[in-house]
A and B are shown apart, each in its own frame.
Chain A
């Protein structure tokens, strides 16, 4: 008899695994075989020039884009399997967008509780309770009744984060979460993301916030022309990149940010 405890590599199994992802937009070959395995509680940062396919890759991870080829397995669910209920699976994958995408006709609390009521089938009182707790986690407990138009960009993005975490996802995807924000509002969103990371959330972040990447990322992927060019700890990617293309990109960014 084998010992299941010794054999089961539970801790080593990635919670998110993408294999050989390809994506064509007509004649454009945007993703050309991207692999990524993310361990639980890991924060993976994806950087790269615009048009490198990093956002498309992220959007393939919850099937907002349909990959042309490859596989995506999240929390043991094969997302590209025809039998998978994608709406059910998406509850486990939170996503935060560059342009927030809050529902303008609903209050902050309404935004956070919509999926709790419609997808998770919670009663309104229960959903409201969870929603208020999620808003409190992003520091906006006192804004529950405000409409998106009455909130600053940073507050809107934090509501968007609350909307995602209220569903208790196993993985959070961030698509340039601070790119649309005025510089003075970026800090509040990064603070929420840092707190989320400290709570043990698994995160994949597409962003140009190098300072945040350096401080919080476990691993940084540099993508260019639909491929992962280089991956490694932030110290390597930002301090001593191995690939010429990575060096050129990092050099450019550091010139502009200093």
Chain B
């Protein structure tokens, strides 16, 4: 066997791949579902926190900044492990899926809040003044004038951060969540062949390449008309 044949038989073993493809597909579907949930809840919670912060209530903002900094500082894996093994001692037994979803949502929420907040503060003060001078309330100004501009500014950093955190779904494998990586590794263990990992990598590419491309498209789409 030449080196090349050996390489193909190891990483692209058709028989092994065919055997474990259904498992990888299961993992893929679970990862997609989890990723969508994380993106929705994480970004929505982050936006909500940024809006709350805009009200400028001091004690509330201190609490908010503390929570945000906490989840920005903790590695996502630590959050997952802490929740999964810590919550049962409080009499609450979360599923692996629920834990991974909640943990990644909290982390995405924290980063999204910072990004949205940066966007809100980047909108010139004159925009607030112009809107308020025509009689719009604080919330109307925020909703109709400031947030649409802030969100456009935040699309590029938010897209990057969202992709980075959504890839953290692979961390769920640590607590036995049968997502792509976990399915691939158990395939490797049973077959003594790394081809399932190749399949897993392909599954991640299929999942995230469109997201990356969509992010690029959104960036150009959201540029001001000139």
Contacts and interface: CB of A to CB of B under 8 A. Distances in A.
Q: Are chains A and B native binding partners rather than an unrelated pairing? A: yes
A93 B129 CA distance: 13
Contacts of A34: none
Interface string B125-138: 01101111111110
Given A101-B127, A103-B145, A115 B134 contact: yes
B149 interface: yes
Contact of A147 (B126, B131, B225): B225
A157 to B, nearest CB: 12
11 contacts: A87-B135, A90-B133, A90-B134, A97-B130, A99-B124, A101-B126, A103-B130, A114-B131, A147-B226, A150-B225, A164-B133
Contacts of A89: 135
Contact of A97 (B126, B140, B149): B126
B133 A95 contact: yes
A105 B148 contact: yes
Contacts of B136: 87, 114-115, 118-119
A149 interface: yes
Contact of B133 (A62, A88, A102, A105): A62
A161 to B, nearest CB: 12
Most A C-beta atoms less than 10 A away, residue of B140, B149, B152, B225? B225
A164 B152 CA distance: 26
Contacts of A99: 124, 126
B144 interface: yes
A104 B226 CA distance: 10
A64 interface: yes
B190 interface: no
Given A97-B129, A115-B136, 6 more contacts: A62-B133, A64-B133, A90-B134, A97-B126, A119-B135, A149-B225
Contacts of A87: 132, 135-137
Interface of B: 124, 126-127, 129-137, 140, 144-145, 148-149, 152, 224-226
A220 interface: no
A125 B34 CA distance: 43
A119 B126 contact: no
Contact of B134 (A105, A114, A149, A150): A114
Interface in A71-106: 87-91, 93-95, 97, 99, 101-105
Contacts of B225: 147, 149-150
A147 B148 CA distance: 15
Interface residues of A, number: 29
Contacts of B145: 103, 114
A114 B144 contact: yes
A99 B130 CA distance: 10
Interface string A42-77: 000000000000000000001010000000000000
A163 interface: yes
Contacts of A95: 129-130, 133
A115 B140 CA distance: 10
A160 interface: yes
Contacts of B126: 97, 99, 101
Nearest to B140: A118
Interface string A104-133: 110000000011001110000000000000
B130 A101 contact: yes
A167 interface: yes
A86 B169 CA distance: 49
The 9 closest A-B pairs by CB, nearest first: A115-B134, A101-B130, A101-B126, A119-B135, A95-B133, A90-B135, A91-B135, A149-B226, A147-B225
A105 to B, nearest CB: 5
B127 A103 contact: yes
A15 to B, nearest CB: 18
B148 A102 contact: no
A87 B133 CA distance: 8
B42 to A, nearest CB: 25
Contacts of A62: 133
B134 A163 contact: yes
A93 B140 CA distance: 18
A167 B152 CA distance: 29
Nearest to A102: B130
A164 B134 contact: yes
